[in-house]
Amino acid sequence: MTRLQIPKTYKLFIGGKFPRSESGRTYRVTAAKGDFVANAAQSSRKDARDAVVAARSAVGGWSGATSYNRVQVLYRIAEMLEGRRAQFVDEIRQLEGASASAAASQVDRAIDLWVWYAGWADKYAQVLGSANPVAGPYFNLSVPEPTGVVAQIAPQESDSLLGLVAVVAPAIVSGNTVVVVSHETAPLPAISFAEVLATSDVPGGVVNILTGSPAELGPWLASHADVDALDLTGAGSIDWIPLEAAAAETIKRVVRPSDDLDGSLQKIAAFTETKTVWHTKSLI
Amino acid sequence: MSFLEYAPAPESRAILSLRDSYGLFVGGEFTDGHGDPLDSISPADGSRIAAFATADAADVDAAVASARRAYDKVWSRMPGAERAKYLFRIARIVQERSRELAVAESLDNGKPIKETRDFDVPTAAAWFFYYAGWADKLEYAGLKNPRSVGVAAQVIPWNFPLMMLAWKIAPALAAGNTVVLKPAQTTPLTAMLFAEIVQQADLPAGVVNIIAGAGETGKALVEHDDVDKVAFTGSTAVGRSIARSAAGTRKKLTLELGGKGANIVFDDAPVDQAVEGVVNGIFFNQGQVCCAGSRLLIQESAHDEFVERLKRRMETLRVGDPLDKNTDIGAINSAAQLARIEELTAAGVNEGAVSWAPECSLPDEGFWFRPTLLTGVSTSHRVAREEIFGPVLSVMTFRTPAEAIAKANNTPYGLSAGVWSDKGSRVLSVADKLRAGVVWTNTFNKFDPTSPFGGYRESGYGREGGRPGLLSYLTEEKK
């Protein structure tokens, strides 16, 4: 007799915990061939707002951590991802219908991209910042600081894991916290990724993952006054222009849709603010 | 005779040879505009300076088309080293004509000649000098494969007309873009003198286009389909509508918007310097500065003495003729701005603040407002939350550094802040925690082309100055 499998209940990831949607809603996740795989939580406006609260409360600790500490915490996540490699490959094959080699290649790229970004945590300020030779007796430094809370729509077309990594990593490496809406029809790698985060050293609330409809959640995040930046990288397939327009209300920083998932220092810079400090030098 | 009584020392207007009317500057020539012409007046006495043509939608089209042609055919193809030489040339002509520009600016804007002579115009020249040298070094700016963006639409405010023009045009041209710039409705004069400088420098036609006009002209310009980059300095309300209109376009956008800067004075601050810095922070340019230190946070134990010292210093400020070399505080730029300052200050008093201003006579004509101190302000008062953009300082207190930081950050803005303390370690850690794009410690209102300037949060995004200021006009081409 074959053993009966135990299917997993997929939930949201908010503030380091795995709640169900407060709305009680779920939606069917199916394999590429159409078979039922799981019921995922269908996030609501309230879930989005709870996630923003969690993200906001995590900003101080995460952005205040030393950069060396952030590098290690982020690298640790790559170690955990590597350990679950097979699980991610299976999920991607099942949901995206990818071949074994394509799925493996996506997971490899995602892990390597994560490691690439992790190493920037203690370097980006050095490369993006500057000592400014002003014409006067002042010590003048410009340093990039994290913008704050970034709301993100992960890529929706394919690359359910790589796309998530490609938006989350550049945002959090500098000390931002994020609320990310995962791939809608292939959300399972995102929730498995949440399990990686939950068992790593990244503080709760730094990454908050919502499953469900980007089209439904986008407007609430774009108009939320406590969100500092809106990353629409993965929003190309939804009606994203009203989201950028809504973000204007509180002068959010906006990244427009793109299918470029490669690592880039400019993607880190997009969610930083340059602070310039002038210190007086005494005349001696 | 007290030391405050002094003989007038007006700067002569003879250096100016203004035209009676100015056209639009499009394609290297002064052309007719088809909007309603506007008269620019001197805010110090209401007298007419000159008439200025304004651009209607068709004129905006023509200006953008001129910039596009110059971009495609000339400027984007020119070696950076050649662009650099044009910019150095412009910097030199600005220096050579600096006296004339300073007089014109004081006349048109109402700010004291000592500021235009010693700050606005030299800073404008410095901006061109600095960015000139970047034009042939773009590969060092921090992008893997830097490319110019294209045609830049630039809309600037009336508070530093020539300097804002320089902040916009210099980096745009260095990076290889062409521009259409709209000066503010009330201060088009130095922009048109700059157009003459562009002609003297033999800059290729259409690289710089300057069109005067009101809000509709600016709107037509920033919403134009053939514009690739929009740079705006002005109010947060207008910035918001520009950001909304740019949604869904390819336009790269930078915004430098309002502020409500906190100037934090600890009880161990060097008092004389702090008093000077606080006065400079709020009364420089009549307080019509987006990064003004308009909220003074004084440590409670030092409050009474500091306010007394501040009042004593304010009594020596000389308010009057902008062209007088003795003048500290000139005219408010326009009747509309004066009305806003009066309205908000009255609201502060209505909400319970105590208003104090030195006894000083004000001219009969023009737009004037005494340097004013509002004490007993609480964080919920409008004068603690809204940008007054005038010579009005709201005073509050704090007890601990944590409270000072919390109060300073308690605003949707995030442009500037000041910290006054003799304790270096405290200054550094407070500066770390302030959510502001520029933090001045034991100084205030310092600017330099090498030093990035711009806001956090609703004070805008993008930087002007330094390498980040250049990146505002570059894009990374994917190889």
Mark whether B290 is an active-site residue. Answer: yes
The answer, yes or no, to whether residue B48 has pLDDT greater than 70, is: yes
B442·A279 Cβ contact <8 A: yes
A134·B442 Cβ contact <8 A: no
B460 near A CB under 8 A: yes
Q: What is the mean pLDDT of chain A?
A: 97
A253 near B CB under 8 A: yes
CA distance B81 to B76: 12
pLDDT digits (tens, 9 = 90+) for A78-120: 999 999 999 999 999 999 999 999 999 999 999 999 999 999 9
Q: What is the mean pLDDT of residues B440-458?
A: 98
Query: For testing the chain B interface, which of A279, A281, A283 should be mutated: the one with the most B CBs within 10 Å?
Result: A279
Helices and strands (H and E) in chain B: how many: 16, 20
Report the residue of chain B nearest A247, measured CA to CA.
B244
In chain B, list all ranges with CATH 3.40.309.10: 262-441
The answer, yes or no, to whether residue A131 has pLDDT greater than 60, is: yes
Q: What pLDDT is stored for residue B1 in this prediction? A: 46
Does A11 map to a domain? Answer: no
Q: What is the mean pLDDT of residues B318-340?
A: 97
The residue annotated as part of the active site, out of B11, B223, B256, B464, is: B256
Q: What pLDDT is stored for residue A92 in this prediction? A: 97
The CATH classification of domain B262-441, taken from the options 3.30.450.40, 3.40.630.30, 3.40.309.10, 2.40.10.10? 3.40.309.10
The residue type found at A219 is P
Q: What pLDDT is stored for residue B242 in this prediction? A: 98
Report the residue of chain A nearest B143, measured CA to CA.
A266
Does A227 map to a domain? Answer: yes
Q: What pLDDT is stored for residue B2 in this prediction? A: 59
CA distance B455 to A147: 11
CA distance B201 to B204: 9
For chain A, the domain total comes to 1
Q: What is the mean pLDDT of residues B383-388?
A: 97
Q: What is the mean pLDDT of residues B212-233?
A: 98
The answer, yes or no, to whether residue A225 has pLDDT greater than 90, is: yes
Q: What is the mean pLDDT of residues A157-182?
A: 97
- Find all residues with CB under 8 Å of B169, minimum gap 6, and list them: B154, B179, B181, B208
H-run or E-run covering A85: helix A85-96
A149 near B CB under 8 A: no
Does A37 map to a domain? Answer: yes
The answer, yes or no, to whether residue A252 has pLDDT greater than 60, is: yes
The answer, yes or no, to whether residue A1 has pLDDT greater than 80, is: no
In chain B, list all ranges with CATH 3.40.605.10: 21-257+457-476
The answer, yes or no, to whether residue A256 has pLDDT greater than 90, is: yes
First-residue to last-residue Cα distance in chain A: 89
Q: What pLDDT is stored for residue A282 in this prediction? A: 87
**Both structure tokens of B230:** 């929009």
CA distance A185 to B310: 64
Q: Cα B108 from chain centroid?
A: 15
Domain housing A84: 26-280
Place of tokens 């009549």: B286
Spell out which residues of chain A touch residue B142, defining contact as CB-CB under 8 Å: 127-128, 265
Q: What pLDDT is stored for residue B6 in this prediction? A: 81
> C-alpha dihedral over A39, A111, A266, A245, to 10 degrees?
0
Mark whether B291 is an active-site residue. Answer: no
pLDDT digits (tens, 9 = 90+) for A47-80: 999 999 999 999 999 999 999 999 999 999 999 9
**The CATH fold of domain B21-257+457-476:** Aldehyde Dehydrogenase; Chain A, domain 1 (3.40.605)
Q: What pLDDT is stored for residue B4 in this prediction? A: 65
Q: What is the mean pLDDT of residues A155-162?
A: 95
The answer, yes or no, to whether residue B232 has pLDDT greater than 50, is: yes
The residue annotated as part of the active site, out of B105, B115, B290, B386, is: B290
**Both structure tokens of B65:** 């088309």
**Both structure tokens of A168:** 């989350």
**CB distance A202 to A219 below 8 Å:** no
Confidence of residue A267 (pLDDT cuts 50, 70, 90): very high
The answer, yes or no, to whether residue A26 has pLDDT greater than 50, is: yes
Q: What pLDDT is stored for residue B45 in this prediction? A: 97
The number of C-alpha atoms within 13 Å of B415 and in the hemisphere containing its C-beta is: 28
Backbone dihedral angles phi then psi of residue B447, each to the nearest 5 degrees: -140, 145
**Both structure tokens of A276:** 């310039």
Q: What is the mean pLDDT of residues B235-263?
A: 97
> C-alpha dihedral over B239, B244, B248, B254, to 10 degrees?
10
Does A13 map to a domain? Answer: no
How many contacts (CB atoms, under 8 Å) link A and B? Answer: 110
**CB distance B110 to B332 below 8 Å:** yes
ipTM over 0.90: yes
Q: What pLDDT is stored for residue B3 in this prediction? A: 60
Report the residue of chain A nearest B461, measured CA to CA.
A253
Does A20 map to a domain? Answer: no
Task: Identify the burial level of B322 via C-beta atoms within 10 angstroms of its C-beta, where 0-12 means exposed, 13-18 middle and 19 or more buried.
Answer: buried
B476 near A CB under 8 A: yes
Q: What is the mean pLDDT of residues B152-172?
A: 98
A248·B142 Cβ contact <8 A: no
- CATH number, domain with residue A256: 3.40.605.10
